[in-house]
Structure 1
Amino acid sequence: MIRLEKIGKQNGRQIVFIEASAALQKGEKVGLVGPNGAGKTTLFRMITGEEEPDEGQVATDRGITIGYFSQDVGEMAGCSVVSAVMDGAGPVSVVATELKQIEAGLADPDRMDEMDALVERYGEVQARFEELDGYALEGRAYEVLAGLSFSQEMMDGDVGKLSGGWKMRVALARILLMNPDVMLLDEPSNHLDLESLIWLEAFLKNYEGALLMTSHDREFMNRIVSKVIEIDGGTLTTYSGDYVFYEQQRALNETHQQAQFERQQAMLAKEIKFIERFKARASHAAQVQSRVKKLDKIERVEPPKRRQSVAFEFQPAPRSGDDVVIIKNVHKRYGSRTIYEGLDFSIRRRERWCVMGINGAGKSTLLKLVTGSTPPDDGSIAVGGSVKLGYFAQHAMDLLDGELTVFQDLERSFPQAGQGSLRALAGCFGFSGDDVEKRCRVLSGGEKARLVMAKMLFDPPNFLVLDEPTNHLDMGTKEMLITALANYEGTMLFVSHDRHFLAALSNRVLELTADGIHQYGGGYTEYVARTGQEAPGLRS
């Protein structure tokens, strides 16, 4: 359906693609992977025609429809959420909007004198809406929005009043409702809670068109794709298999290439040694010349391109007491909405609690109560002796001084630390070379998250409270963080929608549901085995 034929592309001084080729066939579900800045978004934009390759061509089958979801959502306002979603399906949304306006007019006593005209126009518009299969489409729009965790009130409310994260979901819903021949999804798993993520996973598995997507969620990617296209060093390499197969195959290829490189280097060293030893002897002149010619003709094996992955090791955290947090009879309300009514919960040293529950269940509120960011309305929260707390929350990224560079921010936070150790810390969290000179105001969401995390873990607390720590992090940084936290000897309380993160790090589960609060010994994997569900909101 889509073929990339020997494409070349340069952005300024950066060469993005060199004679790169790949194909997306009908019905294929393909993961697009590669380091940040490798050119994944550029590839999407070339397929949609927003950018042209400098060389080669992007060929698409005639008449196919392409839906492209990107992180750049654009302006949304002036209509309901459901109307904004139906917009993606073409003219039917305009008819739907007029139908709603006429219905409002028919119910308005101040417009009694217009009733005959309104009734007549309503008949015409309704007929057109039925002709476009509008009622079925509207039903599907509500279904998609429900899958992405919108409440009925939100669906019928003004799209302009939504936060950026919810507008992302509206943009994604439009592409899903559009049901194009080809879907291009750039990080669709960002900004989704676990229930929405699992719903989207099922939707995409059943989608019959061709799919090309990026995602920093390893589990999500692995369950959907059956082919992986990797961008690395300007080339495109295709692997037939899921994400785990790609990882294994890539590692195997690297091992083979390294062995081949080392064998050739040994052979070259031997030949060069012979040439150096006998080049001055007339009796060996013919042999020397023969070997020089042979070396000139040999095609050199390149060493494998190794991904930069730096390990981060915690300094030992001071030991806390055995009782880390004790919560007794806590009540918490926001306006008329009760979040907690008589909550009793305790955390012991070295426990790793993951908190699960649907949107609005009180996950982040619990973390705020424990860290003292929000006071309870009633009851008590006691933090144990010798507890040194570290709290990672999304708002922490807004507290960075925009005028400081990454390195200046680290220096200000740790004035006693040496430059070498701070540079090593920055490198572990993805700030290498000139990246440490970037001002905080120009950092992406992922870079800000990495900087805040680096600062928190350099002088480690013995109690970590983490609210969605993997949001914005790429797979490499996530893996580094998981490895580091797996070796961490302190206590953890965290919320995450990343199943790989949950399974790797939890040894207790606190589940918040409408039926009450449930505690499970064992981590997320045991929770799934015991409940038969990957998230509480999916329970039938």
Structure 2
Amino acid sequence: MIRLESISKQNGHQILFIEASAALQKGEKVGLVGPNGAGKTTLFRMITGQEDPDEGQVAVDRGVTIGYFSQDVGEMAGRSAVSEVMDGTGPVSTVAAELKALEAAMADPDRADEMDEIIQRYGEVQGRFEELGGYALEGQAREVLAGLSFSQEMMDGDVGALSGGWKMRVALARILLMRPDAMLLDEPSNHLDLESLIWLEQFLRGYEGALMITSHDREFMNRIVSKVVEIDGGSLTTFSGDYEFYQQQTALNAKQQQAQFERQQAMLAKEIKFIERFKARASHAAQVQSRVKKLEKIDRVEPPRRRQTVVFDFLPAPRSGEDVVSLKSVHKGYGIRPIYEGLDFMIRRRERWCVMGINGAGKSTLLKLVAGATEPDTGTVTVGGSVKMGYFAQHAMDLLDGEATVFEALEGWFPQAGQGSLRALAGCFGFSGDDIEKRCRVLSGGEKARLVMARMLYDPPNFLVLDEPTNHLDMATKEMLITALSQYEGTMLFVSHDRHFLAALSNRVLELTPEGVHQYGGGYTEYVARTGHEAPGLRS
């Protein structure tokens, strides 16, 4: 269906592809992987014709329809979410818009004298809408939006009133409703809660077209793809298998290449030693010449390309008292909407609570109550003795000094720390080379999140309160964070939609449901085994 044939591409001084080839066949589900900046988005843009390769060609079979979801969703306003989603399906959306306008006209008393013409036109348009399968399509659009956690009110409201994250979901729903022959999805798992993520997973598994997808969610990738294309050092390498198979295979390939490299290095050292020893002796001249020629002809084995992963040893956290936080008879609401009514909850030292619940269940509110960022309406929140709290929330990123560079920010926070230590910390959170000279005002949301996280973990508190800490992290940084936090000896309370993060770090689960608050001993893996579902909103 889609073939990349010996493509080469350069962006400024950066070479992205050198005579690289890969293919997406009918019905295949392919994961596209590679470090940040390797060219994943550029590859998608070349397939959709938004960019051209410098050399080689991108061949798409005649008649193949492509749906492309990217993080840049553009402007959306003036229409309902349902209309916006149906817009991707062609003429039916235009007819639907006219139908809505005619319905409004029929309800307008100022247009009573035009009513006969309006009703006649409404009949014609309604007939056309039925002919195009419009009613079925609207039902499907609502089904997709419901899967992505939209309420009926949000579906019918002006899409312009939605936040950026919800607009992303509208753009994603538009592609899913299209059901093109091939879908290219660039980070569709960003901005999704756990219920939406699992719904999307099931939708994509049932989709019969070809799929190429990037995602920082390891579990999500693993459950969907059956082939992986890796971008690395300008080339495209294809692996037949899921994401876990790809990880095992690359580790094995690197190990074999390293062994081959070491064997060759030992052989070369031996030959060079012989040449050095006997090059001045006439009696060995022929042998020396023969060995020199042999060395010139040898194909040199390169050592495996090592991804730069920095492991940072975080300092041990000071010990807190046994009772870390106690909530007693807490009531909290917003306006007339109650969130908590008489909540009792106790967190003890070294417990790691993950908080589960659908959108609006009160996950972030609970973290704010515990962190003192909001007050209960009634009841008490008591923080225990010797508790040093670190609170990570999305708004913390707005407090960075925009004019300071990444390195200056770290130096300002930790004036006693050595430069080497701070550079290692920065590298650990993805700021290597010139990145540490970037000013905070030009950092992306993901970079800001990583910088705030670095600050919090360099001088670790003994109680971490984390609201979606993995939202903007790539897989390598996420793995580093999981490794660091698994050795952390303090207490944790966190919200995350990353199942790998949840399973690796939790030892308690607090589940918020409309029926009440449930506490589970054991971590997320035990919770799934016990309840039979991966998220509270997925109860059958």
TM-score, normalised via structure 2 length: 0.99
Partners of 1:288 and 1:21 lie apart in 2 by 43
Cross-structure match for 1:231: 231
Pairwise CA RMSD of aligned residues?
A: 0.7
Partners of 2:177 and 2:468 lie apart in 1 by 28
Partners of 1:103 and 1:170 lie apart in 2 by 24
The one-letter code of the counterpart of 2:226 is S
The one-letter code of the counterpart of 2:473 is L
Partners of 1:197 and 1:369 lie apart in 2 by 27
SS in 1 for 2:375: coil
Within 5 Å, give how 1:305-320 maps onto structure 2: 305-320=305-320
Partners of 2:487 and 2:316 lie apart in 1 by 10
Within 5 Å, give how 1:47-446 maps onto structure 2: 47-446=47-446
> Residue 26 of structure 1: CA displacement?
0.4
Please, which moves more after superposition, 47-56 or 269-278? 269-278
The one-letter code of the counterpart of 2:301 is V
Partners of 1:446 and 1:72 lie apart in 2 by 15
Partners of 1:290 and 1:52 lie apart in 2 by 49
SS in 1 for 2:137: helix
The one-letter code of the counterpart of 1:11 is N
Partners of 2:422 and 2:311 lie apart in 1 by 14
Residues 312 and 424, structure 2, Cα contact 8 Å, conserved in 1: no
Partners of 2:160 and 2:433 lie apart in 1 by 41
> Residue 472 of structure 1: CA displacement?
0.8
> Residue 307 of structure 1: CA displacement?
1.1
SS in 1 for 2:99: helix
Partners of 2:400 and 2:98 lie apart in 1 by 46
Matched, 1:494 2:483: no
Structure 2: 5+ residue stretches without partners: none
Cross-structure match for 1:479: 479
Please, which moves more after superposition, 422-431 or 15-24? 422-431
The one-letter code of the counterpart of 1:6 is S
> Residue 427 of structure 1: CA displacement?
1.4
Cross-structure match for 1:504: 504
> Residue 91 of structure 1: CA displacement?
1.3
The one-letter code of the counterpart of 2:508 is R
SS in 2 for 1:88: helix
> Residue 282 of structure 1: CA displacement?
1.5
Partners of 1:464 and 1:116 lie apart in 2 by 67
Partners of 1:339 and 1:167 lie apart in 2 by 25
Partners of 1:468 and 1:195 lie apart in 2 by 15
Name segments (4+ residues, structure 1) moved above 4 Å: none
> Residue 274 of structure 1: CA displacement?
1.0
> Residue 230 of structure 1: CA displacement?
0.4
Residues 6 and 20, structure 1, Cα contact 8 Å, conserved in 2: yes
Cross-structure match for 1:537: 537
SS in 1 for 2:465: strand
Residues 312 and 481, structure 1, Cα contact 8 Å, conserved in 2: no
Please, which moves more after superposition, 424-433 or 189-198? 424-433
Cross-structure match for 1:521: 521
Q: Deviations over 1:65-119 (max 9, x none)?
A: 0000000110001111100000111111111011011111112222211110110
SS in 2 for 1:31: strand
Residues 228 and 238, structure 1, Cα contact 8 Å, conserved in 2: yes
The one-letter code of the counterpart of 2:472 is H
Please, which moves more after superposition, 75-84 or 288-297? 288-297
Partners of 1:57 and 1:285 lie apart in 2 by 52
Q: Deviations over 1:131-176 (max 9, x none)?
A: 1111111000000000000000000000001000000000000000
Partners of 1:29 and 1:401 lie apart in 2 by 43
The one-letter code of the counterpart of 2:173 is A
Identity %, equivalent residues: 85
SS in 1 for 2:358: coil
> Residue 313 of structure 1: CA displacement?
2.0
Cross-structure match for 1:447: 447
Partners of 2:418 and 2:193 lie apart in 1 by 40
Residues 310 and 424, structure 2, Cα contact 8 Å, conserved in 1: no
The one-letter code of the counterpart of 1:228 is V
Q: Deviations over 1:201-229 (max 9, x none)?
A: 00000000000000000000000000000
Structure 1: 5+ residue stretches without partners: none
SS in 2 for 1:251: helix
Q: Deviations over 1:265-320 (max 9, x none)?
A: 11111111111111111111111111111111111100001111111222111100
> Residue 130 of structure 1: CA displacement?
1.0
Partners of 2:297 and 2:314 lie apart in 1 by 50
Partners of 1:444 and 1:293 lie apart in 2 by 54
Please, which moves more after superposition, 190-199 or 284-293? 284-293
SS in 1 for 2:89: coil
Residues 29 and 224, structure 2, Cα contact 8 Å, conserved in 1: yes
Partners of 1:509 and 1:288 lie apart in 2 by 71
Partners of 1:152 and 1:336 lie apart in 2 by 20
Partners of 1:308 and 1:13 lie apart in 2 by 21
Partners of 2:341 and 2:195 lie apart in 1 by 24
The one-letter code of the counterpart of 2:109 is P
Q: Give aligned pairs, total.
A: 540
Partners of 1:299 and 1:418 lie apart in 2 by 44
Q: Deviations over 1:370-412 (max 9, x none)?
A: 0000111000000001000000001111111111100000011
Please, which moves more after superposition, 511-520 or 267-276? 267-276
Partners of 2:313 and 2:539 lie apart in 1 by 38
Partners of 1:156 and 1:503 lie apart in 2 by 37
SS in 2 for 1:525: helix
The one-letter code of the counterpart of 1:222 is N
The one-letter code of the counterpart of 1:487 is Q
